[in-house]
Amino acid sequence: MTWWWKSLFRKRVLDAQLTSEVRFHVDELTDANIAAGMSPEEARRRAVLEFGGGEQIKEELRDVHRVRVIEGAIANLKSAFRFIRKSPSFSAVIIVTLALGIGANSAVFSAIDAILLRPLPFPDGDQLMEISQLHLRQSSPQTRTAPIRLEEWNRMNSAFQMISGYYTEDGSETSGVLPEKVAQAFVAPRFLQVLGVSPALGRDFSADEERFGGPNAVLISDGLWRRRFHGDPSAVGKKLRINGFSFPIIGIMPASFLFPNRDADLWVPVPPDAPYAQSREYTWYSVIGRLKPRMTVEQARANLTTVQAQLGKAFPKPDADLAVAIQPLKEIRVGGVRRSLWILFGSVSLLLLIACTNIVALLLARATQRQHEISVRFSLGASRMALVSQLLTEAFVLAFIGAALGLGVAGGASSVFRSLAGSLPRVEEIRLDGRIVIYSLACSVVATILCGLLPAIRGTRRNISGSLAQANRTQVSGRNPLQWTLVGVQVALAVTLLAGAGLLLRSFQALGRVSPGFEASHVLTFHISGSYGETADWKGLTQRIDRTIDELRNVPGVEATGATATLPGVPSEYQTELRFTEGDQDAEHKIVAESRFITPGYFATMKIPLLSGELCREPKLTSAPADPAGLQHIAISSIHVLVNRSFADAYPGGSTMIGRHVQPVNSSFLQPNDVGEVRGIVGDAREEGMNRPASPTVYWCFGAPGGPDPFYLIRTRTEPMTMAETIRKKIREIEPARSVFDIKPLPEHIDDAFAENRLRTVLLSLFAATAVSLACIGLYGTLSYSVNVRQREVGLRLALGALRGQIVKQFLLQGLRVTVVGCVAGWALALASSRMLSGMLYGVSPSDLVTLSSVVLVVLLVAAIASLVPAIRAARLDPMQVLREE
Amino acid sequence: MAVDRSDLLQGTLDMLILKIVALGPVHGYGISQRIQQVSREVLQVQQGSLYPALHRLEKRGWLQATWGESESGRQAKFYRLSAKGRKQLLLEESQWNRLAEAIALILRTAS
């Protein structure tokens, strides 16, 4: 408003001033005429006549003062489109370069936006916390939480609106034609309230359904609903048969609800008052809580610590040893990929910068060609400001079209992203929306300024525009320090990116060359649905799994079979503190080892060699009285264990270890009275991930490793996936009510574990390759331009007897000199930025000389080729023709 | 009226204005009078081009304007040269001189 007033006011002042300036002139003329002897009337008439149309002059003066923003912008736009039409190929190069640059940038930004920047897709998602219990006296302290403790936390704290929890387990649904594996989430009361989500159809669990002995109820996912009921709303009220029990469907969750993970098929309430949920020792739940409004994480941490201290007093064993950890749920879910994503964003921004630099060089060359046009416009009275804004408008139109096409590129790129990085958290939330469009627009504005400002300012310098009088192009200097600096910058940035990609590639290679101590090829893995209910009869469970493994071993084409709780080579840790029951304990030197739970067939299947001693056998199970919680205790006389070579080397005893007994100290899965007898020593295998050398490991031989749903491993004689159908059929024969799922070769699991690594490497390599080609195009373009400008000189020298080789050498060296300088700068940049990559590298140091020097070599080679073409063209000039043309 | 009055060469009006204003603060009427007097009545400036030129030069920052009282006691707008205008004047003068010399040379040698 005020602006309008001001401008109106200014207009009136201006008008008054114009009027009095004109009147003054006429008055003075009148006076002069009177002095010359005219009558006052005649004097005035002549004065007005001489002055000319006063109103017309005033209008012209107003014109001078009018700021013609809109008219100017439209005229600029028109001339920009004319410019694009006039030089389509030049414009196309710029537009495509920007489309790729902005598109790649927007694609990576869309991933960052969806994964890192946006809150979790729940109302007030930033209030959601993950709470875990820490065991102060264990080496891997963070564990799940007992249901009873969850209820106490929920009741006693004052920082959270509500606390709930969940755990997941695969089950078998048998109401259909074939048993189907379903991913079940077992949830504590208040689960949906904490997340702030309600079913899309039907209702949440009722209080009755959350009580022990109450009616069964299940909520199903949108995915299962569409798969099994074809999206029919009458599915609510129908029944599913899960692990032999009947569950009525009470509601269907919205499609966007993918918690705790995107595979979750159904949610089942666990009554907190069930007798089996009263133990303080058995820990099931991953705990989530919703903070009260305006409550900080620190306040909540302090509050829950007080609550846990109270519990420690009330139940010294085990609560006195427990502490509480709170972290934002979003951090838990996405924290791991943050660095990777920002590195990708950094490199894609470098790429855009290189693209812009390239375009600056192109526009600069163009501006020199347009000198004539610009000086004509100058002499017609255009102000420099107007010319700069016209040139900037041209750049903006190019950048805008580039950004619009870039959005298309980003759309394609983000679907590539999704397929390449399926294991990335929240990857399903990546999409193109208003925010990405705005981001791309912002990119185009930044690109306009980066690309357009320098050429516009240089192109409209007075001394250049003064060239109208001497319109002679041969006087344009062939050396353009600014343009060559830009080429150098591009080379430096490209070297930096390529060095990063090189390091990642080398560590990827190194990872592939590792001999892990086991053989992953020809091993097929799968699951057979099982339920934790079976753990009540551990003996029966063990017998079932044993029978399955034995039957499968007899299938033709199968070499060996086994089962394990965790897959070898896929990162996982389970550190346990142990002590030997025999001999003196050295209190200073704790024995800490990885624990692995396997069946005896594991070693033959994975081809892990037995070095000394003998293979383990499964323990004999004896029935034990049920403990007060209603769970049958796993009473085991003595468990056989095998240790790996690192363990035998690291701890006293060496090969005399065989026959001795180890006992866990504070472990949540193993009980203190589980004693393992060391039966033999096996070779080192990289159990905890291909990127980590084997650490001291103890293999505990169980019939049912890790519970009712271990990984089954089968070593096949042929390509493993060809056996998939045979195995599926065989299991239907043995266990008709159970479903087989997740049939996959072991190497695929291992690859998936490094998917983020692969994504990073693939994308960075792609960016680096693009950067190097852009830099080479820049080099080629600038050198070609320089050759063009110096045609006359070259022709003259050739005519005077210069050798063609000399000409080639001269231009080649001109290109290479810049490249070398760029490489040196790039090397320094790469060294400075390589720290960002540390921790992502394996088997190669961030300042690896071989990688860096081969990167430089590659760039030099490519640059030499890019320079050779214009250099040879210069040498092939026909002197007569060139000189005649001039 | 014995002398022919010539029209101004295109583009030279700005230079003439700058030159005259360089002598001291002066109003539009004064400028038109002075151009006429100094050129011994050869050059006559149309007011229709004088005032737009003055305002354009003011807008470019080569001239600065203030309101003051004229010799006749009336309120008038006085123009004076700015530092930028002084530089511009030097530039235009040297360009003009080069052009004039070149033309003179051609006229001399061609005859």
Cβ <8 Å between A379 and B11: yes
pLDDT tens by residue, B64-76: 988 888 888 888 8
Q: pLDDT (tens digit, 9 = 90+) per residue, A835-854?
A: 778 778 888 888 889 999 99
The answer to whether the Cβ–Cβ distance between B55 and A52 falls below 8 Å is: no
CB contact under 8 A, A31 and B47: no
> pLDDT band for position A205 (50/70/90)?
very high
The predicted structure's pLDDT at residue A141 = 65
In this structure, is residue B7 part of a structural domain?
A: no
Q: Please report the DSSP string for A238-277 in residue order.
A: -EEEETTEEEEEEEE--TT---S-TT--EEEE--TTSGGG
Q: How far is A13 from chain B (nearest CA, A)?
A: 13
- Please state which of the ranges A31-35, A310-314, A670-674 shows the lowest mean pLDDT: A670-674
Helices (H) and strands (E) in chain A, counts: 27, 22
Of all residues in chain A, the percent with pLDDT exceeding 70 is 90
Determine whether the interchain pair B75/A22 forms a contact, defined as Cβ–Cβ distance below 8 Å. no
Query: Does position A307 have pLDDT exceeding 90, yes or no?
Result: yes
pLDDT bucket at A414, cuts 50 / 70 / 90: confident
- Chain A CB contacts of B11 under 8 Å are 379
Best of B17, B51, B67 to mutate (most A CBs within 10 Å, chain A): B51
Does a structural domain hold residue B84? yes
Residue A726 pLDDT greater than 70, yes or no: yes
For residue B102, tell me if it sits in a domain: yes
Q: What is the pLDDT of residue A247?
A: 92
A60 with B52: Cβ contact below 8 A: yes
The mean pLDDT of A142-171, rounded to a whole number, is 89
Residues of B in contact with A53 (CB under 8 A): 48
pLDDT confidence band for A491 (50 / 70 / 90):
very high
Read off the pLDDT of residues A766-811 as tens digits, 9 standing for 90 and up.
Answer: 889 888 988 888 888 888 888 887 888 888 888 888 888 888 999 9
Q: What is the pLDDT of residue A90?
A: 82
Chain B CB within 8 Å of residue A66 CB: no
What pLDDT score was predicted for residue A780? 87
Report which of A445, A384, A455 is spatially closest to residue A90, judged by C-alpha positions.
A455
CB B88 within 8 A of CB B62: yes
Average pLDDT over residues A610-635: 62
- In degrees, rounded to 5, the angle at the alpha carbon of residue A861 between the alpha carbons of residues A765 and A450 is 60
Give the nearest chain B residue to A49 (CA atoms): B47
User: What is the number of residues in chain B?
Assistant: 111
Tokens of A843: 């088997």
pLDDT digits (tens, 9 = 90+) for A427-444: 778 888 888 889 988 988
Q: What is the pLDDT of residues A630-654, one digit of tens each?
A: 344 454 557 889 999 998 888 877 6
Tokens of residue A11, six digits? 């207009």
Residue B87's CATH number: 1.10.10.10
Q: Is residue B33 part of a domain?
A: yes
Among candidate residues A192, A167, A140, the one with its CA nearest the CA of residue A286:
A167
For residue A250, pLDDT over 90 is answered with yes
What does pLDDT average to over chain A? 84
What is the phi/psi pair of residue A580, to 5°? Answer: -80, 135
pLDDT of residue A1: 43
Cα A61 from Cα A702, distance rounded (Å): 98
Across the beta sheet with B63-69, what order do the strands follow?
Answer: B26-27, B75-81, B63-69
Residue of B47, B56, B60 lying closest to A52 (CB–CB): B47
Q: How far is A873 from chain B (nearest CA, A)?
A: 41
pTM: predicted TM-score of the whole model, two decimal places:
0.70
10 Å CB burial of residue B72 (0-12, 13-18, 19+) is exposed
Q: Which residue has the tokens 């039409």?
A: A85
Handedness of CA A295, A296, A300, A303 (dihedral sign): negative
pLDDT of A401: 92
Q: Is the CB of residue A65 less than 8 Å away from at least one CB of chain B? A: yes
Handedness of CA A455, A460, A461, A464 (dihedral sign): positive
Q: What is the CA radius of gyration of chain B?
A: 16
The token pair at A854 is 């081969």
Q: Does pLDDT of A142 surpass 60?
A: yes
Q: Are A791 and A875 in contact (CB under 8 A)?
A: no
Contact between chains at B29 and A17 (C-beta distance less than 8 A): no
How far is the C-alpha of A642 from the C-alpha of A814, rounded, in Å? 67
Alpha helix stretches (DSSP H) within A514-651: 538-553, 602-606, 645-650
Higher pLDDT, B48 or A875: A875
d(CA A677, CA A668) in angstroms, rounded, equals: 20
SS3 A628: coil
Instruction: Report how far residue A175's alpha carbon sits from residue A194's, in angstroms, rounded to the nearest whole number.
Output: 31
The answer to whether B78 touches B67, Cβ cutoff 8 Å, is yes
* Mean pLDDT to the nearest integer, A200-218: 91
Q: CB neighbours of A731 closer than 8 A, spacing ≥ 6?
A: A528, A548, A552, A738, A740
Contacts of A22 in chain B (CB under 8 A): 51
What pLDDT, on a 0 to 100 scale, did the predictor assign at position A473?
A: 46
H-helix segments, B23-82: 28-38, 47-60
Contacts of A50 in chain B (CB under 8 A): 47
Q: Flag whether B5 is in a domain.
A: no
| DSSP 8-state symbol, A738 | S
Q: Is a pLDDT exceeding 80 seen at residue A416?
A: no
Question: What local confidence, expressed as pLDDT, does residue A468 receive?
Answer: 46
Q: Distance between CA A191 and CA A264 in Å, rounded?
A: 14
Is A60 exposed, middle or buried (CB count within 10 Å of its CB: 0-12, 13-18, 19+)? middle
Q: What is the separation of C-alpha A23 from the centre of its chain, rounded to a whole number of angstroms?
A: 72
Tell which of A13, A14, A20, A21 to mutate to test the B interface (max B CBs under 10 Å). A21
Is residue B83 in some structural domain?
Answer: yes
Q: Of chain B residues 80-109, which have a CB less than 8 A from chain A?
A: none
Q: Using the beta-carbon criterion (under 8 Å), do B55 and A24 form an inter-chain contact? A: no
Q: Where are the alpha helices (DSSP H) in A802-848?
A: 804-833
Please write the tens of the pLDDT for every residue from A526-575. Answer: 998 887 677 777 788 888 999 999 999 999 999 999 999 889 988 877 77
Does B34 contact A at CB distance below 8 Å?
A: no
- Which residues have C-beta within 8 Å of that of residue A380, sequence separation ≥ 6? none
- Contacts for A572 with CB less than 8 Å, ≥ 6 apart: A566, A688, A689
Partner residue facing B46 (CB), from A17, A28, A52: A52
Give the residue with greater pLDDT, A151 vs A653: A151
How many distinct structural domains can be found in chain B? 1
Instruction: Determine phi and psi for A505, rounding to 5 degrees.
Output: -65, -45
Most confident listed range (A271-285, A356-370, A500-514): A500-514
- B98 phi, psi to nearest 5 deg: -60, -45
Asked if residues A618 and A703 have their Cβ atoms less than 8 Å apart, the reply is yes
Secondary structure in 3-state letters for A461-517: CHHHHHHHCCCCHHHCCCCCHHHHHHHHHHHHHHHHHHHHHHHHHHHHHHHHHCCCC
pLDDT value at residue A474: 44
Question: Which chain A residues touch B98 with a CB distance below 8 Å?
Answer: none
B44 touches chain A (CB under 8 A): no
- How many Cβ atoms from other residues are within 10 Å of residue B82's Cβ? 17
Angle, CA A836 vertex, CA A834 and CA A838 arms, to 5°: 80
Q: How far is B85 from chain A (nearest CA, A)?
A: 15
Reported as a single tens digit per residue, the pLDDT across B84-104 is 889 989 988 888 898 889 888
Report which of residues A113 and A420 the model is more confident about: A113
Indicate whether A2 pLDDT > 70.
no
Q: Which residues contact B4 (CB under 8 A, 6 or more apart)?
A: B42
Per-residue pLDDT, A9: 62
List % helix, strand, coil for chain B (3-state, nearest 5). Answer: 60, 15, 25
Is the preceding omega at residue A260 within 30 degrees of 0, hence cis?
yes
- Asked whether residue B3 is domain-assigned, the answer is no
b vs e for A560-597, b when ≥16 Cβ sit within 10 Å of the residue's Cβ? bbbbbbbbbbbbeebbbbbebeeeeeeeeeebbbbbbb
Scan for tokens 């551990």, then name that residue: A538
Peptide bond into A425 cis (omega under 30): no
Work out the minimum CA distance from B49 to partner chain A, whole angstroms: 8
Contact A60 B47 (CB under 8 A): no
Residue A67: closest C-alpha in chain B: B59
Minimum mean pLDDT range among A282-291, A359-368, A437-446? A359-368
Which amino acid is located at B97 in the chain?
Answer: N
Q: Taking chain A, what is the end-to-end CA distance rounded to the nearest angstrom?
A: 61
Of B52, B55, B75, the CB nearest to A24: B75
Q: Is the pLDDT of residue A623 over 70?
A: no
Highest mean pLDDT among A3-12, A49-58, A525-534, A848-857: A848-857
| CA A254 vs CA A173, A203, A221, A266: distances in Å | 21, 12, 7, 12
Residue A65 has pLDDT above 80, yes or no: no
A95 CB-near residues (< 8 Å, 6+ apart): A398, A401, A402, A405
Average of pLDDT values for A819-836?
90
Give pLDDT, residue A256. 87
Which among A27, A50, A53 has CB closest to B74?
A27
- Measuring CA to CA, how many Å separate A145 from each of A138, A579, A670, A709, A725? 15, 26, 16, 21, 39
- Identify all chain A residues contacting B32, using CB atoms and an 8 Å cutoff: 25
Expressed as residue numbers, the domain containing B85 is 12-110
Residue B49 lies in a domain: yes
pLDDT digits (tens, 9 = 90+) for A160-179: 999 999 988 877 788 877 77
